[in-house]
Structure 1
Amino acid sequence: MRLHCEVEVVSRRLPALGLRNPGKGVRALLSLCQQPAPRSPPRPPAGRAGAPRPACLLVSTLRDKRGTRYEQLKGNIEQFFTKFVDEGKATVRLKEPAVDICLSKANSSSLKSFLSAVRLAHRGCDVETPFSPLTPVKTSEFEKFKTKMVITSKKDYPLSKNFPYYLEHLQTSYCGLVRVDMRMLCLKNLKKLDLSHNHIKKLPATVGDLIHLQELNLSNNHLESFSVALCQSTLQKSLRRLDLSKNKIKALPVQFCQLRELTVLKLDDNELIRFPMKIGQLTNLQFLSAARNKLPFLPSEFKDLSLGYLDLFGNTFEQPKVLPVIMLQTPLTLLESSARTILHNRIPYGSHIIPFHLCQDLDTAKTCVCGRFCLNSFIEGMTTMNLHSVAHTVVLVDNMGGTEAPIISYFCSLSCYANSCEMLK
């Protein structure tokens, strides 16, 4: 039985000698083996099988493929430390030699099975899983433990074998992929996925099952949308950097703003005609680039952003309209009044409580300059804003040296509009 993990062997006697442990784990292959049989073993009495050979622990690394052997596990383990076993961490404390074998970055289920077998060997019980041979480990065994793989040509793309299970960084660019390979979605340790320069048209919702994914690069593909399912997946808690540049995306769903851990968002060279209305909810966003799109104006909540870098060069921004668009309703409809109450009081809602189309209405409600909400009864006005008010570094929006862009503003009542009319001049 073998376990891929990082191993640090800590001697408990070094501090008494005034020495320090190295303090760093290395990639290793941990094997549960049986000690070799003696050269001239005594013959067992007739009708009896010989006593089983004692188990030992073998720690092999890429530098030391023969490995370090820890003999006689039976009765030789002082303690197991398994508090963080679900995180792939554990420690086996041996009596002799006086060392702690610290394990980390292991698959949690494999680690539990391995510790269970070691515990049986310590008690002198029969171990049901087969023992590993006491032979030097092959280099190919460590290939399974790779954490980074970069493929930049179609001929190097693996067709007959799986990706290493422990990958944390995978790049497959210029491989002609037309869809996301489902084998990638089994890489539960993946933190960075780069699928740039392919021909991918659609993302499967199961990309959201990569619970540790922090960076996703989909630039230079044929994407036309970013699905609501991905916006409502575990990517909400993990995704930090997203590159969707050089695709064919026309709009992002309003639920996109639920990806609130985003710090970097690249949308250059798409066909965007609008930003999500709730973009101000991306409170962690520091880098936003959406150059060379078809944005006519910015949504009202854009002014709630606080960016370090902003690039909106080459968009088709319109000139602000002189007259506002008045859509006020008097008296307010029951739908309008109810929607405003729900949103103002932050009452939870969902498709399991109210019809789905009403949820969509609430999700796309407009925010008045006073902070209240409006659905179908509002006044719409347009003005310009200096982009330096939301970003420290701003790329000019045009070749004329401008840093101003048109922004939509909404007013829930005539009094709100009257109080803000100076802003619209």
Structure 2
Amino acid sequence: MLLSRQTRIMSTVGDYFILDTMKLQCEVEVISRMLPTFGMRNRGKGNRAVLSIGKHHDRGIKNSAATIHLLICTLKDKSGSKYKLKENIEQFFTKFVDEGKATIRLKEPAVDVCLNKADVNNLKNFLSALRLAHRGSEIDSIPLSNLAPAKTSEIEKPKAKMVITSRKDYPLTTNFPYSLELLQVSYCRLTRVDMRMLCLRRLRKLDLSNNHIRKLPAIIGDLACLSELVLHNNYLEIFSIGLCNSTLQKSLQFLDLSHNRLRALPLQFCQLQELIHLKLDDNELLRLPSKIGQLTKLRFLTAARNKLPYLPCDFQLLCLENVDLFGNLFDHPNPLLPTIHLQIPMTLLEVAARATIKYRLAYGPHILPAHLSQDLDLIKTCPCRRPCLDSFIQVVVNLNLHQVSHTVVLVDNMGSTEAPILCYFCSLTCYSEFLDKYHQRNR
């Protein structure tokens, strides 16, 4: 819906306004209240239409004064049907106006004009104009244009999908349709995200694959409806922390970052907790986010052909349908060669950090120095579920990926479905218990 020719509604005296011709796009159904008298029913389906308020001269009456009418134009009837407005509106039904719905009941003819799928703000303005026209007060002081048939472009359903796969088709002088829900711009050699795309508030899928984009603006996160973001085959080196802290936390379900130049993802990446499908293939990743286990809704993960030496400890918390880690530079683990960072006795910082996590005490930059908050965000967890900060034993062990995923793509050409995973132990006792179980399995 839109108000063409920019509606001017300005207060003059009391409730009176100065109006230019107003046009509202929405779905309209005109229902005759006489149908039940003849044993008939309305068809119950609206048509895309343009409603206009303006002047109408009765050509059958010489020198007749102009009257204000409501004009409803559809694709089948572009000339439209006119309805007198002055003292001709019996009632307004506006209970669902905040959902873009309203009904105008006319006296003559006895019809109900049912409006649906209208822009809420524009609909409210339009109804205000109808009320003024109905009152007819100081009507001569309201400058309105003459009614004219609507253009085809005004009546057509707003465009929801646009696919551009050639640079010559890329719009340079015109904006993207405001109503777009799916936008694909590929093979256009874009080096940055066009800011005009970020004004498309209804956008659900944005596909910018096969371009030359190096950086993503944080304001992509303002696209509150965005559930799919495809950035396959670009030059991305960084995934912004700003995106991780945006409204994408509640909307983004599909993210394709494959065939880029990413070496790492920020810790905050795991705040995108609505993610279901994540594609990271063919990057230069040296690690996955340490808290990846927080992505509790993640079901499909592909990170093939990267440079991962091992998986983070939290990886074993995932519950996947499909995982593909083929072609990474996985290390060969040796649980008998641990890296020991135990501090005996433990420092006061270690004791305080463990207690903060164990007892779920609140912390953050507003309570603690920023570097301490970051340390707590990165705290490790022992298999016994106790936390450890700087005092731990680190060891790399094999994880059978079938433990975290229903379907597993082979890790290498040798048919393996195991991948090394980094584990931490809070004490020698926990590590000893692990070794006992390890020896029992390998006897």
Report if TM-score (shorter chain) is over 0.5: yes
RMSD: 2.6
Taking the aligned partners of 2:35 and 2:426, their CA distance within structure 1 comes to 72
Partner SS, residue 5 of structure 1:
strand
| Partner residue in 2 for 1:293 | 306
Q: How many residues align?
A: 414
1:395 deviation in Å? 1.0
In the alignment, structure 1 segments of 5+ residues that lack a partner are 44-49
Taking the aligned partners of 1:132 and 1:392, their CA distance within structure 2 comes to 66
1:401 aligns with 2:415: yes
Structure 2 residue aligned with 1:384, among 398, 407, 419? Answer: 398
Residues 60-114 of structure 1: CA distance to partner in whole angstroms, max 9, x if unpaired?
A: 34444333444436441422324452x5x1212314434351321x433323322
| Partner residue in 2 for 1:352 | 366
1:325 deviation in Å? 1.4
Structure 2 residue aligned with 1:36, among 40, 54, 57? Answer: 57
* Residues 69 and 82, structure 2, Cα contact 8 Å, conserved in 1: no
> Structure 1 pair 123/335, CA: closer, same or farther in 2 (3 Å)?
farther
1:10 deviation in Å? 5.6
- Which residue identity does 1:386 align to in structure 2? N
| Partner residue in 1 for 2:434 | 420
TM-score by length of 2: 0.85
Residues 316-353 of structure 1: CA distance to partner in whole angstroms, max 9, x if unpaired?
A: 11111331111112232232222222222333333233
Taking the aligned partners of 2:268 and 2:194, their CA distance within structure 1 comes to 25
| Partner residue in 2 for 1:5 | 26
| Partner residue in 2 for 1:91 | 102
> Structure 1 pair 373/173, CA: closer, same or farther in 2 (3 Å)?
same
| Partner residue in 2 for 1:54 | 68
1:21 deviation in Å? 5.2
> Structure 1 pair 239/84, CA: closer, same or farther in 2 (3 Å)?
farther
| Partner residue in 2 for 1:46 | none
Taking the aligned partners of 2:173 and 2:167, their CA distance within structure 1 comes to 14
Partner SS, residue 364 of structure 2:
coil
Taking the aligned partners of 1:7 and 1:373, their CA distance within structure 2 comes to 62
Partner SS, residue 262 of structure 1:
coil
| Partner residue in 2 for 1:270 | 283
Partner SS, residue 54 of structure 1:
strand
1:239 aligns with 2:260: no
> Structure 1 pair 63/155, CA: closer, same or farther in 2 (3 Å)?
farther
Partner SS, residue 226 of structure 1:
coil
TM-score by length of 1: 0.89
1:329 aligns with 2:350: no
1:272 deviation in Å? 0.8
Q: After superposition, where does 1:131-146 map in structure 2 within 5 Å? A: 131=144, 133-141=146-154, 145-146=158-159
* Residues 319 and 405, structure 2, Cα contact 8 Å, conserved in 1: yes
In the alignment, structure 2 segments of 5+ residues that lack a partner are 1-21
Residues 238-289 of structure 1: CA distance to partner in whole angstroms, max 9, x if unpaired?
A: 1111111110011111111110111111111111111101111111111111
* Residues 383 and 423, structure 1, Cα contact 8 Å, conserved in 2: no
Structure 1 residue aligned with 2:389, among 372, 375, 398? Answer: 375
1:116 aligns with 2:128: yes
1:375 deviation in Å? 1.5
Partner SS, residue 225 of structure 1:
coil
- Which residue identity does 2:129 align to in structure 1? A
Partner SS, residue 416 of structure 1:
helix
Structure 2 residue aligned with 1:260, among 273, 293, 306? Answer: 273
Partner SS, residue 67 of structure 2:
coil
1:228 aligns with 2:241: yes
Partner SS, residue 406 of structure 2:
strand
Structure number with greater Rg is 2
* Residues 30 and 114, structure 2, Cα contact 8 Å, conserved in 1: yes
